[in-house]
Structure formats: C-alpha cells, structure tokens
Amino acid sequence: MKFYAVRKGRKVGIFNTWQETKENVVNFSGAEYKSFNSMEAAQAYLNADKPVVDDYSDCDIIVYTDGGCRNNGVHKGGHVKKDDKAAWAYTIRCKDETCSIDGVGGERGATNNQMELTGLIEAIEMLIKKNWQNKKIRFCLDSKYVIENIDRLSTWKAAGWRNTSGLVANKDKWQKLEPLLQECTNKSFFWVKGHADSEGNNYVDRKLNEYMDDEM
C-alpha cells in the first residue's frame, strides 16, 4: 500500500490513492508531494518544516532520541576507530506530566548512525517495558538517515536485508528495530534540526555528550 504525502497543494495531507493526490497537485504551482511505503515516513515528510515543541495536542507521549560520536564523521574522510567514544540518549515525556524518563549509554568504536539507531531502539524498549507502546507517541529525532530508511524496512526485509548495494548497513540494528516499531501502534515521526531551537533535541544531545565526557 502506498501513502501519498502532499506538503504543498490544493489540500495538504496524506492520501491513499494517486487519483486523489493528483487532484490536489496537478497544475498547482510549487506543489510538493511524495509517495511512501509507510504512514510513519509520510508523516515525517509532511512534518519536516513544522517547528517541534512539547505540544501534546495530538499525542500522549513525546520521545526525543539522539546519537553521536567523537572523531568519526566530524570531518571529510574521517573513519571510526576502535577507541572512538560514541553514545546515545533519549528522553520520554508524558502529556499528563506523570513521567519523564531519560536513558543514556555508550560504547567505543560505533558510528553516528549506529548510535542514532540505538537511541531509538532503547527508547522503544522502555516504552514497551512501561506498557506505553499503544499510546499516541511522537518520536522526534535529527537523523534523516533513520527517518528516511524506516520507509525501506519492509522492502529490505523481503529482500533478505539487502539493497542495491548489497547487505544493508547496520543490518543488526535495523533487524532489532523493525519488530519494535510494529509494537508502537499509534506513532508519528518528526525530523528536528540538530543543535538548533528544539529544547528536547538539545537536551538529549547534551546528555550523550556529558556521558562521553564523564563516563567513558
């Protein structure tokens, strides 16, 4: 099934058929639209330009996740070394303010993308542990790598976790994440610009950097 996200058109939103989508974008100047394999990816595209704040009008829980490392990816041609510091962090915030749960951890020799995936995995595992996976959850992260590839999971899985380049990079992380995402029955994804004006994103970025400074 395809999901068609119209970001600029006669009517903005997500549609299930090309016919309905076409009516909103054809001959509309500056139309912006794209098709996706999952509702989550379509929502992330639709929400890309919206400011992200702790607004619970359309969700019960907001989750911020982040991952990062030192020395790897900081400059062109940089490669991960076995002793490079890397860390992930998340914060879970509830609408009724009865909870605020943080998680942080790290390892040496991991990449930025691996830590971004780990942060999301750890956050969802905590949601399941608390039996919150069926609540309306908004995930906010600054990794386009993660958000854009979530839409490819079903295709990768059907192809034996391969893409046109061979084995999917970070296959073990994606294989762990895929069933966890299925557990969250009412979720949406927002991309936030890193190191900018998102308080939640800045918070988890600070937590993971403090971990690398103080705990590793």
Q: Is 60 exceeded by the pLDDT of residue 18? A: yes
pLDDT digits (tens, 9 = 90+) for 198-214: 888 999 999 999 999 99
Backbone angles phi, psi at 17, to 5 degrees: -130, 150
The pLDDT of residue 48? 65
Contact, 208 vs 66, CB < 8 A? Answer: yes
Q: Residue 147 above 80 pLDDT?
A: yes
Give CA–CA dist 101/112, Å, rounded. Answer: 23
Handedness of CA 40, 44, 45, 46 (dihedral sign): positive
- Is 0.95 surpassed by the pTM of this model? no
Q: What is the CATH number of domain 56-214?
A: 3.30.420.10
Least confident of 87-96, 121-130, 197-206: 197-206
Contacts of 129 (CB under 8 A, 6+ apart): none
Q: How far apart are CA 208 and CA 215, in angstroms?
A: 10
What is the pLDDT averaged over residues 113-138?
97
Q: In the chain, where are the structural domains located? A: 56-214
Mean pLDDT over 119-141 rounds to: 97
